[in-house]
């Protein structure tokens, strides 16, 4: 079944729903690595078989509390552990001053592809070059495997600089969708004050 195609016009979003425009991007060959400023004390480490409470804390601080990342919040321990402990999923954390402040997750579970599943930093690292360092590592790690497609998606609830950052990093937009979901701030999944840049309609 193909996705419906909307005609021109404005459409009401039902109360209790969250609507975003999702942009899908891909890279078909390794992009050139961008210069990275020196960030004193910044390191990137591989995290294997992560503690789930550690992961959820970092996930919240990087994306959920501010940018309404909520897909992983629906998963119980068994479901989340099955993803993060899969050898085809690689997880990295950017660390500064003894605290993990960045999340990089690469998913190789589809043959010949790598998805940049989650990528971001807390406000402590935004604008300091950590994103470039993490992206360079992501590009090198992804294309070290026999893939022909490296892809990512972002949406209008995410950091406003995310789409431009992905394009400057070498990803090309290939598709857009309008996504409507139950607003997680109204279902009890997330605090009501999460994602204050996105209005709540209840």
Report the pLDDT averaged over residues 10-29: 96
Whole-angstrom distance, CA of residue 14 vs CA of residue 121: 32
In this prediction, residue 2 carries a pLDDT of 67
Please choose, from the candidates 120, 132, 103, 124, the residue with its C-alpha nearest in 3D space to the C-alpha of residue 157.
120
Strands (E) located in 66-201: 89-96, 99-107, 113-121, 149-155, 172-182
Q: State pLDDT tens for residues 35-92.
A: 988 888 899 999 999 999 999 999 999 999 999 999 999 999 999 999 999 999 999 9
Residue 16's pLDDT band, with cuts at 50, 70 and 90, is very high
For 2-16, 120-134, 142-156, 158-172, which range has the lowest pLDDT when averaged over its residues?
2-16
- Domain residue ranges of the chain, discontinuous segments joined by +: 17-28+42-187
Round the average pLDDT of the chain to a whole number and report it. 95
- Polymer length of the chain: 202
Identify the pLDDT of residue 40.
82
Q: Which CATH superfamily is domain 17-28+42-187 in?
A: Gcn5-related N-acetyltransferase (GNAT) (3.40.630.30)
Instruction: Flag whether pLDDT at 139 surpasses 90.
Output: yes
């Amino acid at each position: 079944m193909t996705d419906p195609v909307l005609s021109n016009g404005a459409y009401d979003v039902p109360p209790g729903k969250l609507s975003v425009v999702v942009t899908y991007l891909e890279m078909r060959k390794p992009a050139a690595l961008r210069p990275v400023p020196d960030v004193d004390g910044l390191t990137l480490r591989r995290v294997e078989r992560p503690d789930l409470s550690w992961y959820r804390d970092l996930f919240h601080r990087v994306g959920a509390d501010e940018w309404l990342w909520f897909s992983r919040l629906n998963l119980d321990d068994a479901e989340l552990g099955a993803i993060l402990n899969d050898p085809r999923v690689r997880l990295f954390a950017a660390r500064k001053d003894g605290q993990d402040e960045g999340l990089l997750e690469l998913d190789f579970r589809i043959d010949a592809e790598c998805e940049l599943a989650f990528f971001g930093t807390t406000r402590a690292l935004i604008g300091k070059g950590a994103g470039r360092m993490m992206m360079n590592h992501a590009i090198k790690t992804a294309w070290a495997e026999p893939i022909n497609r490296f892809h990512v998606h972002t949406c209008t609830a995410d950091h406003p600089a995310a789409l431009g950052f992905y394009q400057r990093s070498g990803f090309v937009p290939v598709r857009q969708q309008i996504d409507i979901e139950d607003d997680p701030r109204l279902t009890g999944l997330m605090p009501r004050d999460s994602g204050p840049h996105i209005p709540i309609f209840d």
